[in-house]
């Protein structure tokens, strides 16, 4: 009898499987993407001018890869910023009193404002090298991503159900373990949907981030944004169509390799006692879970995290007594006093700057233009809310439909307003329309999706028990919307509306000035004021425009949106 060689089951577990091969290919692809562009960072800055952007479609794969890498790096920094900044604001009442208004101001500063102020700084970090320009572009993309994610994470941390917090305390988890085992998982579904929106927001402003013109400083980094800027300048419609196709391909790749796996993974963190009826699926997540190679790579990190979870909080009675020397009331008084001093010093510096460089007429003009832009923003956000809240609830309650809508919404949210300039300018000129009215929709083109994405995230996390109870009680029609759907998504809607409002102010800089070839249309507003000042290099007007925009956004947020935020936090938390 002849025996065939066999492999034991135990030995077979250590042999590479098809999942390991797929995982290795994915990891290898990312490594090639990083290494293929790293050598370009040390090239002389002069090569950008010597090698201008080509509208030949054969260059688009390289341009798309470089733009995608910049966005991925910026998204990583945005995630680090979110976990630190938003957590500190949510955990500390004193810090939150400063950090949240500061976040309002930061999201109101347009991307051109950040670029005009920081571009010289980043170029000086790597004199004569492309690295400085790359850092400036990544930072500009970061400013279009981070604020939305921070607001989302802050809102989730503030609405963690009380029973989850109590469970963590009963199990004796330290603060670090509670954050990673309870709070971050609870916030993860909404954060991931806002990460998608932030990535799309980066695409929306990619032209301003890669093709920079601030006074006498001009450069165009190889990328889809610079390609679009060159196509608009040359009125090349075929190149614009190629750019749209390249964007669609990159967004689909990001959806398949990053966001769809994250959405499927985050489904395990639903605050629900029943399993999802139609859980989202992802082939990449299946590869990750079944790959022995990736399991071996992440096992040491997982073991290290487990050890940190078991660390007991330090007990030092002497230190506790030292902390209690200052009463909470005295600490609040000192903190508020410090804020007053800082505010007075800032106002004094602003006053000195305004007295030397600005006239009352200029300040009044900027204030009036800001009021016009504010009216546009409020009207557009109201219209977007009426349209997208019902649609978002409908999609969020159907995971299968959400997977279909997900890449489509990402693409629409990423569609830069600049790509509609040919159509907008042609229609306005042909039919002699008023730019003040017909350029306005471009402001909400990319920001309306903040509302949709957040409402989808909120509807997808509604407990199945709540839906079953409403069905058993026969709650339907308007009563169902009033008592179940709208209250359930209201905290998520407020987060989306705040970021959509701030994003619309940012979008004003590219929506109130539309160019197609040599023809340029201006709408009256603060966005056009800042855009013109940036092109001309008028630093004083740039600062004035940013300051006025920050004042408007801060006042609107504090008087309207923040009140809704507090109401949602108290009235509709899952506790």
Q: pLDDT grade, residue 40 (50/70/90)?
A: low
For residue 362, how many other CB atoms are within 10 A of its CB?
A: 15
Q: What is the pLDDT of residue 16?
A: 61
Q: pLDDT grade, residue 374 (50/70/90)?
A: very high
Answer yes or no: is pLDDT of 424 > 50.
Answer: yes
Answer yes or no: is pLDDT of 148 > 90.
Answer: no
Residue 348 half-sphere exposure toward CB, CA atoms < 13 A: 6
* Tokens linked to 408: 């489509």
- Structural domains of the chain, with CATH: 17-270+351-571 (1.10.3720.10)
Average confidence (pLDDT) over 466-492: 85
Q: Which residues pair with 219 in a beta bridge?
A: 212
Q: What is the pLDDT of residue 128?
A: 80
Average confidence (pLDDT) over 507-535: 83
Q: Report the DSSP pairing between strands 513-516 and 519-522.
A: antiparallel
Look at the block and give the residue holding tokens 């009680």.
Answer: 473
The CA-CA-CA angle for residues 100, 104, 108, to 5°, reads 160
DSSP per residue over 88-149, as a string? HHHH-HHHHHHHHHHHHHHHHS-HHHHHHHHHHHHHHHSTTBHHHHHHHHHHHHHHTTHHHH
- For residues 150 and 439, what is the distance between their CA atoms, to the nearest angstrom? 30
Q: pLDDT grade, residue 37 (50/70/90)?
A: low
Q: What is the pLDDT of residue 360?
A: 84
Q: What is the pLDDT of residue 372?
A: 94
Q: Which residues pair with 438 in a beta bridge?
A: none
Q: What is the pLDDT of residue 270?
A: 74
Average confidence (pLDDT) over 317-328: 52
On whether the CB atoms of residues 553 and 562 are closer than 8 A, the answer is no
On whether the CB atoms of residues 439 and 514 are closer than 8 A, the answer is yes
Average confidence (pLDDT) over 390-413: 86
Return the H-helix or E-strand segment holding 513: strand 513-516
Answer yes or no: is pLDDT of 9 > 80.
Answer: no
Answer yes or no: is pLDDT of 11 > 60.
Answer: no
- For residues 264 and 254, what is the distance between their CA atoms, to the nearest angstrom? 14
Q: pLDDT grade, residue 320 (50/70/90)?
A: very low
- For residues 211 and 221, what is the distance between their CA atoms, to the nearest angstrom? 6
On whether the CB atoms of residues 455 and 393 are closer than 8 A, the answer is yes
Query: 207 vs 361, 530, 546, CA distance in Å?
Result: 33, 16, 20
457/275: higher pLDDT? 457
Maximum average pLDDT range among 70-79, 340-349, 419-428, 524-533: 70-79
Q: What is the pLDDT of residue 347?
A: 67
442/243: higher pLDDT? 243
29/201: higher pLDDT? 201
Q: What is the pLDDT of residue 8?
A: 42
Q: What is the pLDDT of residue 83?
A: 95
Detail the DSSP E strand segments found in 158-289: 211-214, 217-220
Q: What is the pLDDT of residue 319?
A: 46
Average confidence (pLDDT) over 323-329: 60
On whether the CB atoms of residues 238 and 522 are closer than 8 A, the answer is no
pLDDT digits (tens, 9 = 90+) for 196-220: 888 887 887 788 888 887 667 788 8
Residues written for the chain: 575
Q: pLDDT grade, residue 403 (50/70/90)?
A: confident
Nearest to 542 by CA among 556, 531, 553: 531
**Beta-carbon contacts of residue 345 (< 8 Å; ≥ 6 apart):** none
Answer yes or no: is pLDDT of 232 > 70.
Answer: yes
Across the chain, mean pLDDT equals 81
Answer yes or no: is pLDDT of 251 > 50.
Answer: yes
Query: 148 vs 79, 107, 462, CA distance in Å?
Result: 11, 8, 22
Average confidence (pLDDT) over 42-55: 78
Query: 350 vs 345, 364, 373, 548, 554, CA distance in Å?
Result: 9, 16, 23, 12, 17
Q: pLDDT grade, residue 84 (50/70/90)?
A: very high
Average confidence (pLDDT) over 153-165: 86
pLDDT digits (tens, 9 = 90+) for 69-80: 899 999 999 999
pLDDT digits (tens, 9 = 90+) for 268-311: 887 665 555 667 888 888 888 888 877 888 888 888 888 888 76
Answer yes or no: is pLDDT of 322 > 50.
Answer: no
Q: What is the pLDDT of residue 4?
A: 43
151/39: higher pLDDT? 151
With the C-alpha atoms ordered 235, 241, 245, 248, is the resulting torsion angle positive or negative?
positive
Average confidence (pLDDT) over 492-517: 83
């Amino acid at each position: 009898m002849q025996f065939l060689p066999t492999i034991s089951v135990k030995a077979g577990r250590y042999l590479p499987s098809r999942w390991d091969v797929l995982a290795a290919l994915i990891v290898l692809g990312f490594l090639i993407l990083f290494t293929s562009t790293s050598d370009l960072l040390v090239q002389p800055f002069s090569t950008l001018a010597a090698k201008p952007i080509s509208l030949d479609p054969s260059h688009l794969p390289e341009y798309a890869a470089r733009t995608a890498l910049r966005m991925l790096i910026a998204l990583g920094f945005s995630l680090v910023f979110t976990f630190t900044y938003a957590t500190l604001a949510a955990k500390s009442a004193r810090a939150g009193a400063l950090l949240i208004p500061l976040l309002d101001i930061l999201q109101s500063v347009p991307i051109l404002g950040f670029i005009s102020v920081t571009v010289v700084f980043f170029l000086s970090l790597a004199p004569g090298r492309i690295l400085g320009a790359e850092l400036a572009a990544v930072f500009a993309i970061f400013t279009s991503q981070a604020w939305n994610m921070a607001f989302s994470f802050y809102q989730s941390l503030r609405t963690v159900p009380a029973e989850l917090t109590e469970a963590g305390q009963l199990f004796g988890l330290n603060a670090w373990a509670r954050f990673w085992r309870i709070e971050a998982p609870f916030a993860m579904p909404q954060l991931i949907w806002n990460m998608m929106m932030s990535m799309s927001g980066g695409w929306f402003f990619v032209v301003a981030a890669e093709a920079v013109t601030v006074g006498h400083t001009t450069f165009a980094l190889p990328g889809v944004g610079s390609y679009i800027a060159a196509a608009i300048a040359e009125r090349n419609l075929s190149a614009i169509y190629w750019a749209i196709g390249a964007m669609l391909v990159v967004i689909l790749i990001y959806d398949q390799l990053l966001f769809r796996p994250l959405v499927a993974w985050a489904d395990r963190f639903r605050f629900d006692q029943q399993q999802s009826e139609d859980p989202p699926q992802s082939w990449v997540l299946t590869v990750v879970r079944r790959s022995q190679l990736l399991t071996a790579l992440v096992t040491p990190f997982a073991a290290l995290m487990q050890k940190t979870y078991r660390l007991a909080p330090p007990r030092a009675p002497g230190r506790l007594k030292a902390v209690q020397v200052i009463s909470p009331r005295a600490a609040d008084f000192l903190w508020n006093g410090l804020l007053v001093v800082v505010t007075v010093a800032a106002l004094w510096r602003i006053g000195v700057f305004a007295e030397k460089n600005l006239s009352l007429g200029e300040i009044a003009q900027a204030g009036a233009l800001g009021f016009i832009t504010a009216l546009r923003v409020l009207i557009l956000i109201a219209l977007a809310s009426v349209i997208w809240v019902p649609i978002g609830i409908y999609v969020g309650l159907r995971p299968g439909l959400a997977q279909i809508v997900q890449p489509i919404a990402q693409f629409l949210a990423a569609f830069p307003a600049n790509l509609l300039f040919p159509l907008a300018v042609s229609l306005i000129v042909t039919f002699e329309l008023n730019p003040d009215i017909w350029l306005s929709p471009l402001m909400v083109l990319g920001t309306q999706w903040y509302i949709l994405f957040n409402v989808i995230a909120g509807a997808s996390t509604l407990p199945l028990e709540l839906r079953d109870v409403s069905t058993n009680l026969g709650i339907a029609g308007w009563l169902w919307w009033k008592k179940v759907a709208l209250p359930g998504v209201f905290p998520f809607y407020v987060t989306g509306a705040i970021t959509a409002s701030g994003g619309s102010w940012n979008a004003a800089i590219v929506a109130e000035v539309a160019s197609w070839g040599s023809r340029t249309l201006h709408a009256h507003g603060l966005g056009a004021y800042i855009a013109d000042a940036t092109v001309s290099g008028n630093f004083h007007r740039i600062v004035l425009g940013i300051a006025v925009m920050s004042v408007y956004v801060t006042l609107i947020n504090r008087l309207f949106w923040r009140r809704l935020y507090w109401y949602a936090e108290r009235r509709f938390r899952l506790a």
